[in-house]
């Protein structure tokens, strides 16, 4: 992950949010889950600085989209005990793989918060597309 | 948000609690979720200083009544992974909008804790009414 | 400690701050260190909601004015290891004794933040005077 | 504070770091201390995501440059008990005032971490210059 790419990913997420009429915050983290770039749109909620980096970290830490964790952490789910202060198990976080296949290394993650879960996922995917076509 | 108004909101919540026979704590926060005024009635539980400001912050941070989050964070709900140290997802927190419509800016929040959830919501609404008729 | 008295203590601190041209936050806590009343003046810093209750709690928890802890926690001081997330060891917190003499029980505390340390202490003393003459 | 301005402030800090041969992270927060934009240069330490937003928040919360707090929190200093998880009392954080004079309202803050303290301060000042000439 580098800053120039992370900024382009943020811009793609913000642009997608504009298309959907959502006001979001977006975070891009490196392979250690540490913040590289963050942008919060004007009028986006102050939960974004907590949730967007949290989703990005969580997707790197567990190597899955956070939407998958939202399922796995349902009552009776395999990871029902996971959510807490460290792991934000809501859709909108995506791991970024060093290769197209999932055999690769997780090179970073992106997290989006501020819209509906569907909007957050859509904006995160717009950012991930920039990553995959880098 | 200013202190004079926040105090009147606290008084309205306390008065409503008196009517309902509840002993509550009430917190009013600004648009950054930071405490402006807090009052805990004699005999109200010591959880109030944690939960009332927490509900007020949570309602500002997510721009919805915390009762909505209580639903969304139920098992299987879209935001089931949200509750934690930061977000108190129980009814009794309300965002305060700069305009009557919900197109406005969130200018602050109120949170009440100590009664039943229904009582907490009722007391928070009494405070919010002071805000809306300011 | 009761709410009516705590509110009068807050008012006295705010009034004193007005006299000194300071913008402060004031917190009154019970004998468990738990918040009973809090008021932040218009224009007072957002550190107040952290520091004023922290000073009040710290003065109850250690049964001394926090100004004393500021001294005892100096390098080489007896309590140099005390300051941290729980204990705010800056002047502006005062324990409130159930009796005039210090043989009594600590019945609560007051903490002020937002002015200079001298102003914070002065405002806390104005609140404590209300307590002592209750 | 708005995102477009926050991004220009980040860019100014990064550019200044380039001039000084430092690798830094820079954070811009709003008047509630909540993150608006963050950028970490390639090769900058992973402490940046903790320290840069922390300095920015601290400068807003206490309404002074964090360099002032670094002095006041020295052994024997008036605020020696202040540093902790919340307040980062190292140079490199600056409050951003709504007016040129310090009579204004704090509208946000900038924090820089990663270089020497002198470099961090210099980069934060480059960002603050963008704010003052907005």
- Condensed to tens digits (0 to 9), the pLDDT of residues A45-74 reads 999 999 999 999 999 999 999 999 988 888
Contact flag B81-A74 (C-beta cutoff 8 Å): no
Chain A residues lying within 8 Å of D40, measured CB to CB? 3, 34-37
Chain B and chain C share a number of CB contacts under 8 A equal to 52
Confidence of residue A85 (pLDDT cuts 50, 70, 90): confident
Residue range of the domain that includes B47: 3-132
Q: Indicate if the pLDDT at residue A99 is higher than 90.
A: no
Predicted local confidence at residue A27, as pLDDT: 98
Question: Measured between CB atoms, does B18 come within 8 Å of chain D?
Answer: no
Predicted local confidence at residue C95, as pLDDT: 97
User: What average pLDDT score do residues C1-22 get?
Assistant: 97
Predicted local confidence at residue C65, as pLDDT: 96
Distance from CA of C47 to the nearest CA of D (A): 5
Contact flag B76-A75 (C-beta cutoff 8 Å): yes
Average pLDDT, chain A: 94
More confident site: C85 or B67: B67
User: What average pLDDT score do residues D97-111 get?
Assistant: 83
Confidence of residue B4 (pLDDT cuts 50, 70, 90): very high
Q: Indicate if the pLDDT at residue C102 is higher than 70.
A: no
Predicted local confidence at residue A88, as pLDDT: 93
Structure tokens, C65: 């004015």
Beta bridge partners of B94: B110
Place of tokens 């980040």: D10
User: Rounded to whole angstroms, how far apart are CA atoms B34 and B48?
Assistant: 16
Chain B residues lying within 8 Å of A117, measured CB to CB? 78-79
Predicted local confidence at residue D92, as pLDDT: 97
The residue among C25, C29, C34 with the most chain B CBs within 10 A of its CB, best to mutate, is: C34
- Name A119's Cβ contacts closer than 8 Å, sequence gap at least 6: A17, A20, A22, A24
Three-point CA angle A47, A51, A52, nearest 5°: 110
Work out the number of other CB atoms within 10 angstroms of the CB of residue C62: 20
Closest CA to B48 of B27, B70, B22, B19: B27
User: Rounded to whole angstroms, how far apart are CA atoms D92 and D37?
Assistant: 16
- CATH number of B46's domain: 3.30.450.150
Question: Measured between CB atoms, does D107 come within 8 Å of chain C?
Answer: no
Average pLDDT, chain C: 94
Chain A residues lying within 8 Å of D48, measured CB to CB? 34-35
Closest CA to A47 of A93, A113, A122, A118: A113
Predicted local confidence at residue B12, as pLDDT: 98
Q: Indicate if the pLDDT at residue D75 is higher than 90.
A: no
Chains that touch C (3 or more CB pairs under 8 A): B, D
Chain B residues lying within 8 Å of A47, measured CB to CB? 61-62, 87
Structure tokens, D113: 């971490």
Chain D residues lying within 8 Å of B33, measured CB to CB? 32
Query: Do residues C113 and C48 lie in contact, with contact meaning Cβ atoms separated by under 8 Å?
Result: yes
Query: In whole angstroms, what separates CA B2 from the centre of its chain?
Result: 16
Distance from CA of A111 to the nearest CA of B (A): 14
User: What average pLDDT score do residues D4-14 get?
Assistant: 98
- Name D22's Cβ contacts closer than 8 Å, sequence gap at least 6: D114, D115, D116, D119, D120, D123
Q: Indicate if the pLDDT at residue A18 is higher than 80.
A: yes
Q: Indicate if the pLDDT at residue D60 is higher than 90.
A: yes
Q: Mutual orientation of helices D3-20 and D117-132 as an angle, nearest 10°?
A: 140
Predicted local confidence at residue B75, as pLDDT: 84
User: What average pLDDT score do residues B30-44 get?
Assistant: 97
Predicted ipTM of the assembly: 0.94
Predicted local confidence at residue A78, as pLDDT: 85
Helix (H, G, I), strand (E, B) or coil at B9: helix
Predicted local confidence at residue A79, as pLDDT: 86
Q: Which of residues 39-98 of D touch A (CB under 8 A)?
A: 39-42, 46, 48-49, 53
Structural domain count of chain A: 1
Predicted TM-score of the model (pTM): 0.94
pLDDT tens-digit series, residues B80-107: 888 878 899 999 999 999 976 556 799 9
User: Rounded to whole angstroms, how far apart are CA atoms A48 and A113?
Assistant: 5
The residue among D14, D28, D49, D50 with the most chain A CBs within 10 A of its CB, best to mutate, is: D49
Question: Measured between CB atoms, does A36 come within 8 Å of chain D?
Answer: yes
Q: Indicate if the pLDDT at residue A102 is higher than 80.
A: no
Confidence of residue D84 (pLDDT cuts 50, 70, 90): confident
Question: Measured between CB atoms, does B131 come within 8 Å of chain A?
Answer: no
Percent of chain C with pLDDT over 90: 82
Distance from CA of B69 to the nearest CA of A (A): 13
User: What average pLDDT score do residues A90-105 get?
Assistant: 85
User: What average pLDDT score do residues C93-110 get?
Assistant: 87
């Amino acid at each position: 992950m580098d800053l120039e790419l992370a900024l382009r990913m943020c811009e793609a997420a913000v642009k997608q949010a504009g298309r959907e009429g959502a006001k979001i915050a977006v975070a891009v983290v490196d392979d250690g889950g540490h913040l590289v770039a963050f942008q919060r749109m004007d009028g986006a909620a102050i939960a974004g600085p907590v949730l967007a980096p949290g989703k990005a970290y969580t997707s790197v830490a567990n190597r899955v989209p956070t939407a998958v964790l939202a399922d796995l952490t349902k009552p009776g789910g395999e990871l029902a005990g996971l959510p807490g202060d460290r792991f934000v198990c809501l859709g909108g976080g995506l791991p970024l793989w060093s290769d197209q296949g999932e055999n690769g290394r997780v090179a970073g993650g992106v997290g989006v918060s501020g819209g509906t879960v569907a909007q957050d996922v859509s904006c995160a995917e717009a950012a991930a597309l920039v990553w995959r076509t880098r």
